[in-house]
Amino acid sequence: MKLYYKPGACSLASHIVLHELGGDFEIEKVDTGTQKTASGEDFSQVNPKGYVPALKLTDGQVLSEGAAILQYLADQKPELGLAPAAGTIERARLQEHLNYVASELHKSFGPFFSGVTLEGEARQKAEENVAKKMAYIETLLSDGREYLLGSKFSVADAYLFVVSNWSSFVGIKLDKVPFLAAFVTRVAGREKTQAALKAEGLLG
């Protein structure tokens, strides 16, 4: 398998999970602005949507959309427990968390990555929107659970970590969401997370 990624983007979640699975895989960096990959490939021919992640399977098929890729990867090695079994309420909860991170929290960071400098009232509104979305996650983690589904790390945690960690890149403090802040530190310290961060050049 080959993962097309952009350093620190949401594709990092899939990269972390690939390391969790172990085994052989490739990664290829994408410049989403020019739609060129590190090897000179036309990324728009790989994923016409034009964004990462995209996962090229061994048979040549390409899978896109982070939540779909994460669940597909988890199901390759169900014994690792990175996603509950299909058809269970636990699996539905995983999908619930993935959808929330994708459609609410991830989306709330959009203004910070639009290419337009946020200042004054526009920045304040963007920060308030992020804070509102994070507040919901804080309520989930406030019961003492280590991860979204309880004590076991799942693919939803990889995604939540990546998006929440964007706060450090855009200057948003997590002091008002201490449980989420502790979660980010916890996932960042995992061996496989460190491996993915290093591979993407995100560690000093």
Residue 198, SS3? helix
Common-topology check for domains 2-80+192-199 and 89-190: no
- In CATH terms, the fold of domain 2-80+192-199 is Glutaredoxin (3.40.30)
- Burial code (b: 16+ CB inside 10 Å, e: under 16) for 126-164 equals bbebbbebbeebbebbeeeeebbbeeebbbbbbbbbbbb
Architecture of domain 89-190: Up-down Bundle (1.20)
Q: What is the 3-state secondary structure (H, E, C) of 115-161?
A: CCCCCHHHHHHHHHHHHHHHHHHHHHHCCCCCECCECCCCHHHHHHH
Please check the confidence at residue 196 and state whether its pLDDT lies above 90.
yes
Give the model confidence (pLDDT) of 67-95 as tens digits: 999 999 999 999 999 999 999 999 999 99
Residue 158 to residue 70: CA distance in whole angstroms: 9
pTM above 0.85, yes or no: yes
Please check the confidence at residue 204 and state whether its pLDDT lies above 80.
no
* Domain residue ranges in the chain: 2-80+192-199, 89-190
Please check the confidence at residue 147 and state whether its pLDDT lies above 90.
yes
